[in-house]
Amino acid sequence: MSTDREKIARVVASIEPADALEVEHQGAVLDWVNSDAELYRLVPPDLPPMHLVSYFVPFHDTTASLLLTEHRKSGLILPPGGHREVGEMPWQTVQRECVEELGISAAALPWLGTEPLFVTITETQGTAVRQHTDVSLWHVIEVACTDRRLRLEPGEFDGARWLSFDELLSEPVERFDPHMHRFAQKLRSRRGSSLRR
């Protein structure tokens, strides 16, 4: 029977990197997962100083737009997401956090499924958070811009907005997670491939 660590390693290994930096991050994450290091965050915000996070990016396929949030603690525009709890697989974290943060159930995009699209290693930013390292698995969930069930968790976010790929990529990356533009480019490319099938 596979351990949680082995299952997570398979999830990370299944990601097809889009560029050299993602290859580097994927290899470093696999080394970390296969080590004896603790993968869970045990004491917020930074113990252990490196831990696993699941981002989930709401995506409206019809309009090719992404919902990003104004994250209160970091001061950045980020996807919703959260830290993995003991015993959770990454998609289970997405399911739990989606209900907590957006008030809806997570639904996978048919052409992507429940596996993450992207993997990054990021030093956190913001004055309200002690610096630590997030190992982030980026998932995409299917949400319509017109979905009236969306309810942002007020303790986490100051607001949210839908952005097209062009709108997102035209804004300075410093306002976002430092890998946000790379993620958007990968998602746009993967969507283009799915439409050509």
Would you kindly state where each structural domain of the chain is located, as residue ranges?
4-196
Convert the pLDDT of each residue in 150-170 to its tens digit.
Answer: 999 988 899 999 999 999 999
Which residue in 89, 97, 110, 113 sits closest to 55, CA to CA? 97
pTM of the model: 0.93
Residues counted in the chain: 197
Q: Supply the pLDDT for residue 196.
A: 73
Residue 128 has pLDDT above 80, yes or no: no
Sign of the Cα torsion 12, 186, 99, 70 reads: positive
d(CA 33, CA 4): 10
**Residue ranges of E strands in 24-124:** 50-60, 65-71, 77-78, 81-83, 118-123
Place of tokens 């930074």: 46
Confidence of residue 34 (pLDDT cuts 50, 70, 90): very high
Tokens of 174: 């410093």
Phi, psi of 93, deg, nearest 5: -60, -45
Give mean pLDDT, residues 68-86: 91
Average predicted confidence (pLDDT) for the chain: 92
What's residue 193's pLDDT? 83
Residue 69 forms beta bridges with which residues?
78, 160
Nearest to 14 by CA among 36, 28, 30: 30
Which pair of structure tokens corresponds to residue 186? 């990968």
Alpha-carbon separation of residue 173 from 97, 136, 176, 180 (angstroms): 25, 17, 5, 7
Residues 16, 74: Cα–Cα separation, whole Å: 29
Mean pLDDT of 69-81: 92
Q: Are 146 and 91 in contact (CB under 8 A)?
A: no
pLDDT at res. 125: 65
CA-CA distance, 184 to 180, in Å (whole number)? 6
Q: What is the pLDDT of residue 1?
A: 56
Average pLDDT over residues 116-137: 83
4-196: CATH number? 3.90.79.10
* pLDDT 10s digits, 53-63: 999 999 999 99
